[in-house]
Chains A and B, each alone.
Chain A
Amino acid sequence: MPALPDLRLGVDVGGTHTDAVLVERDGRLLAKVKVPTSPDVTGGIRGAISELLARSAAPTGRVTHVMLGTTHATNAVLERKGLARTAVLRVGGPATHAIPPLFGWPDDLRRAVSVAETIVDGGAEFDGRDLAPLDRDAVTRFVAGLPEGLTGLAVSSVFSPVSADHELAVEEIVRSERGAGLHVSLSHEIGTLGLLERENATVLNEALVSTARRVVGAVGESLTATGLGHAIVFFAQNDGTLMSLDHAIHFPVLTIGSGPANSIRGAAYLTGVRDAIVADVGGTSTDVGVLVNGLPRESALGVHIGGIATNFRMPDIVSIALGGGTVVRHVGEAVTVGPDSVGYRLTEEALIFGGATPTLSDAAVSVGRARFGTAPLSADRALALALRMADEMLAEAVDRVKTAKGEAPLIVVGGGSVLIPDDLPGVSKVLRPDDFDVANAVGAAIGTVSGQVDRIYQQAGRSRQEIIDAVSEEARSQAVRAGADPMGVEIVELEGIPLSYLTNPALRLRVKAAGPLAGL
C-alpha cells in the first residue's frame, strides 16, 4: 500500500510552455513554474519538475502523486515520428470490402504506420446477431504470416459497439499464436459507431503504444532523477480525468486533446464553478470549451487528427486564432487581426516591449484594458478597432460552443486572458481566477479518475432503467479499477440516444462515472 496521499504535482505540456504546479492536500497551490517546452517534450517536463521542486521548500518525500498532461501522442501523429508499424485486421467480410482499411489516408502516414491489412469474414449486425461467423482460420493465417518482431495489431469488427465478441475472439487467437509479444488494440474500447473512423482511431492507438511505453519509461527515469521515484504517476486523458500508467500504455490515443481538457478542469477547480464556458487564451490561439457538471463536454462529431477521420471522444472545443501575440495589420483603410502570431517572441516584437509589430497585447494596453510591457504606447484607432474585432470573434466562439440560448458565465484562463473584456454578449459574468496562467497544470494535478461505457443496447425484454443501471455499474467499477475511491464515485454523465431509421429500437448509451483518487 502506498503512503497516504500528500502533495500532488501536476504538469501540462503546451505548444510554447510546459507548466507545473504543486498542490497541497487541501487544494492550496504551493508553487508554480513555466518553462519552455522542449522539442523532445520529456526534457521540458523534467526541467519544469526540477525548477518547481527547487522553488518550493517542500521535501520531495512529501510528493505522493505526479499527474502528467503531455503532447507526445499528438506530436507523434502530426510529425509522423516515433509511430510503430502495426498490422490492421478488420472483421467484417463479406461486407465492407468496398472500402478497405486505411483507404484515403495520407500516403506518408500510411507508410509510417501499416505493415499489412486484411479483411476477414465476421462481425455483427445492428441487433447483435452475427453478420457472418468469424473466420478463425483466416485470422490465424494472417497472424502467423506477420513479420517476426512486429509489435502491434489493430482489430476492428463491424458493429463491435453492439457486440465485441469477434474482436475478443481475435485477441484470444493472437494470444495463443503469438503470446504477449504482439500488442492488440480493440476498436470497441476506443471509438463509437462509424466503422472507418473507429478503425482509424484504433490503428493510431496501436501505432502509439510503443511511444507510450517509451514516454512512461522516460518519465519514470526523470522522476527518479528528481527524487520522485516513489510517487504514483497518472496521465491526463482527453475527457479531463486521469488514467493509470498501465491504461496510458494501452490507450495512448486518449491523451490526444488532454491539454484543453486540463484547462477546463483547472478553470472549474480554481473558481469552484461546475457549469460554465471556459476560454483558454494563449499566445497564438484561444480554445473555447464547455464545463458541464465539472467536466469538459465531449464533441458529438468526429474529429480529424493529422488528416485522419476518427471518432473517439474528444473535448468539444472551438479554436480561434486569437492570442496575446496575434498580429494586427493595416491593409489599406482596413484593419486585420491575425491569424499569425509573434508567439513566444512577444517580449521582443510587441510595441509595448519596444518592438515593431503591433499585436493584440498592444491593443489591450492601448485602451487601458491591460497594463504591462516596458515601452510607452499612445492610443491608436487601428489598435482599438482590432480589439473590438477580437471581442467579436471571441463572442462568436462563445456562442458557437453553447448548446442553448441564454447567458452563461465565462471563465478565462491562460497567459493571454488579459485580452478578454469584462462585458461580452451572451456572457452573464467573466470570472478571472487567481493562478489563471497555470490552470492547465492545476487541472492535471486535481484530476479525478473515471470509467466510461459507450455502447449500443437492444432492449431485449429489459426495461430502459434496468439497462441504464447495469451500464452505470460497469462504468463505476471501471473507475474504481482505474484508481478511484469506491465511496466517491458518481455518475457524471448519462446520455441515451435512440438510433434512427431502425424499426427495432436500439439505444446508444454513454455513461461516465468519475471520482477522486482513492485515499485522498
Chain B
Amino acid sequence: MLLDADTLRAQSRGCGILGAGGGGAPTIGLLAGLRALEVHGPASLVDLDDLPDDDLVLPIGMVGAPVVSIEKICNGAEGARIVRRVEAMTGRRVAALMASEIGGSNGLYPAAHAAALGIPVVDADGMGRAFPEMPQVSMEIAGISPSPCVMSDERGNVLTLDPADGQWLERLCRAVAVCFGGRAISSEYLMTVAEARTAAVRGTVSLAVRIGRAIAEASDDPVRALLDAVGGFRLIDGKVSDVERRVTGGFVRGSAQVEGLRADTGRLLRLELQNENLVALEDGLVVASVPDVISVVDTQTGGAVSTELLRYGQRVSVVAFPCDPVWRTDGGLALAGPRAFGYDFDYTPVEDLRACAA
C-alpha cells in the first residue's frame, strides 16, 4: 500500500481512535507527514513478511510534552540522522521504519521520516494503541533489548544511550528530552525483520487506515462503522456530565462521567484517566479496562476525543475493543495491566465482561 495524502488523512483519524484518549493530537504529525509526502513523494507501507530476515527495523517516535510538540515543531531531518547513526554503529542497513506507538501523533511521524529517507514503513508498531511509558511496548515483552537508544533534536544533537533495561530507558530518555527543550525524537528496541515478525504488534497501520476510512465513509452511524472495523463494543451513548482532571508528576490524571442519552438514558459510565482512558466502570463494576482500548468518540462524527479535550456537555460514545493478544499474556499484563497502573483488580478481557453483562 502507498501512504499517500488521502491514506495518511484516513490513518490520522484511526490513530486518534487507537490513542485510547492519549498519544497527543495527530494534527501535527499529519501535517508533517503531508508536507514530507509533498516534497519527497509518498512512502510505501510494507508487511514484515516482504522484507529480508536480516535487515534492520527501526522503531521511532517522539518523547516529551505534547505542549512542546505543538509549538517547537520538528526540523524534519531528525529521523535521517538517527538512521545514519544506527547504520554507522551496526554496519547494517535500516530497511524500514516502524512506529513505536500507533496511537495519536506518534503513529504518523514514521511516514514523514520514511518519505524523506526513501525507505518504507512497516505495517506494525510496538503497542497497537498508546501508552504513557516507553518500555510499554511488545518488544519489551519479547525480550528485545531497548539498547541502543538513539535520540536526536532539531539542532543536530545526536545521542546514543545504552540503557540497562526498560525502566532506565524511560528515566534516561525523559531526562534527555527535557534537556533538548521538552521533546526529542527517539529510537529504541532496534531489531531485525525476523525478530520484528514476532516481537511487534502487526497490521496496525493498515488497521488505522481502515478505521479512518470506515468513519469517514459511514453514511449514518460512524460509531457503528468504527465498531465493525475494530470488532468492538459500544459501552454507552451519552454526554460528558463531569470531568475532573489534575496534572501530577507530568501526567494528566482524573476521571470523567458519561451520562446515558436516548436508549441509554438512566445509565452512568465512569472513566478513569491517566493520559489514556484506563478503566470504564458502571454501577461500581469494571466494564472494560487497560490494556484493552477504551476510546471516547464524538457520536456524530466518530472522531476521537482525547482526555485533554473532554468537557461537560459533549455528545459522545464510549467504545472499547480488544488489545493485541500480547498484552493479555503474563508479561503483557505485568507491563500494562490494571495493576501496572495502580489498580487493585485483575484484568478480564472486554469481550468476556460484555458476555457476562449480557
Q: Which chain A residues have a beta carbon within 8 Å of chain B's beta carbons?
A: 92-100, 103-104, 123, 125-126, 129, 131-132, 158-159, 193-196, 300-301, 396, 399-405, 498-504
Contacts and interface: CB of A to CB of B under 8 A. Distances in A.
Given A99-B28, A502-B182, A125 B72 contact: yes
Given A103-B35, A126-B67, A96 B181 contact: no
Given A103-B35, A499-B65, A500-B66, A195 B73 contact: yes
Interface in B295-344: 308-309, 311-315
A42 to B, nearest CB: 38
B203 interface: no
Interface stretch (B52-60, B94-102, B218-226, B244-252): B244-252
Contact of B71 (A97, A158, A403): A158
B133 interface: no
A98 B313 contact: no
Given A194-B70, A405-B242, A502 B250 contact: yes
Nearest to B25: A194
A430 to B, nearest CB: 19
17 contacts: A92-B72, A96-B72, A96-B75, A98-B73, A98-B75, A98-B76, A98-B112, A126-B181, A131-B72, A193-B67, A196-B31, A396-B315, A400-B315, A498-B247, A501-B65, A501-B67, A501-B68
Contacts of B313: 399-403
A187 B76 CA distance: 23
Nearest to B65: A501
Contacts of A193: 67, 70-71
A99 B31 contact: yes
B241 interface: yes
B2 interface: no
Going nearest first, the 3 A-B pairs with the smallest beta carbon separation are A501-B65, A98-B76, A95-B154
Contacts of A196: 28, 31, 70, 73
A100 B35 contact: yes
A199 to B, nearest CB: 10
A100 B74 CA distance: 11
A403 B311 contact: yes
B70 A501 contact: no
Given A92-B72, A104-B31, 5 more contacts: A97-B154, A99-B28, A100-B35, A193-B70, A194-B70
Nearest to B73: A96
A334 to B, nearest CB: 14
Given A99-B35, A501-B67, A125 B182 contact: yes
B231 interface: no
Given A98-B32, A131-B181, A498-B247, A402 B312 contact: yes
Contacts of B31: 99, 103-104, 196
Contacts of B65: 126, 499-502
Contacts of A104: 31, 34
Contact of B72 (A123, A396, A402): A123
Interface in B30-83: 31-32, 34-36, 64-68, 70-77
A95 B73 contact: yes
Contact of A95 (B72, B112, B239, B251): B72
Contacts of A401: 313
A452 B306 CA distance: 29
Contact of A98 (B36, B71, B247, B312): B36
B251 A500 contact: yes
Contact of B250 (A123, A131, A501): A501
Interface string B158-175: 000000000000000010
Interface size class of B (residues with CB under 8 A): 35 or more
A99 B155 CA distance: 16
A357 B77 CA distance: 61
B118 interface: no
A503 B178 contact: yes
Contacts of A405: 241-242, 312
Contacts of A504: 178
A194 B31 CA distance: 13
B68 to A, nearest CB: 6
A501 B71 contact: no
Contacts of A301: 309
A252 to B, nearest CB: 25
Nearest to B312: A403
Q: By CB atoms of chain B within 10 A, which of A99, A159, A403, A405 has the most?
A: A99
B75 A399 contact: no
Contacts of B242: 404-405
Nearest to B175: A503
A118 to B, nearest CB: 15
A98 B35 contact: yes
Contacts of A159: 71-72
A503 B34 CA distance: 32
Interface in B115-170: 154-156
Contacts of B247: 498-500
Q: By CB atoms of chain B within 10 A, which of A399, A404, A500, A501 has the most?
A: A501
B154 to A, nearest CB: 4
Contacts of B308: 500
A405 B312 CA distance: 8
A126 B70 CA distance: 11
Given A92-B73, A502-B250, A126 B68 contact: yes
A489 to B, nearest CB: 31
Q: By CB atoms of chain A within 10 A, which of B31, B66, B241, B308 has the most?
A: B31
Contacts of B71: 126, 158-159, 193-195
A502 B239 contact: no
Contacts of B241: 405
B105 to A, nearest CB: 12
Contacts of A501: 64-68, 182, 250-251
Interface in B236-262: 239, 241-242, 247, 250-252
Contacts of B72: 92, 95-96, 123, 125-126, 131, 158-159, 195
Contacts of A502: 65, 67-68, 178, 182, 250
A400 B314 contact: yes
A404 B239 CA distance: 12
Contacts of B77: 97
A301 B25 CA distance: 13
A97 B73 CA distance: 7
Nearest to A500: B247
Contacts of A103: 31, 34-35
Contacts of A400: 313-315
A500 B67 contact: yes
A403 B242 CA distance: 9
Contacts of A126: 65, 67-68, 71-72, 181-182
Contacts of A132: 155
B268 to A, nearest CB: 12
Q: By CB atoms of chain A within 10 A, which of B71, B76, B252 has the most?
A: B71
A257 B71 CA distance: 25
A94 B250 contact: no
Nearest to A426: B313
Contact of A500 (B112, B252, B309): B252
B278 to A, nearest CB: 16
A126 B76 CA distance: 20
B129 to A, nearest CB: 19
Nearest to A90: B73
Nearest to B24: A501
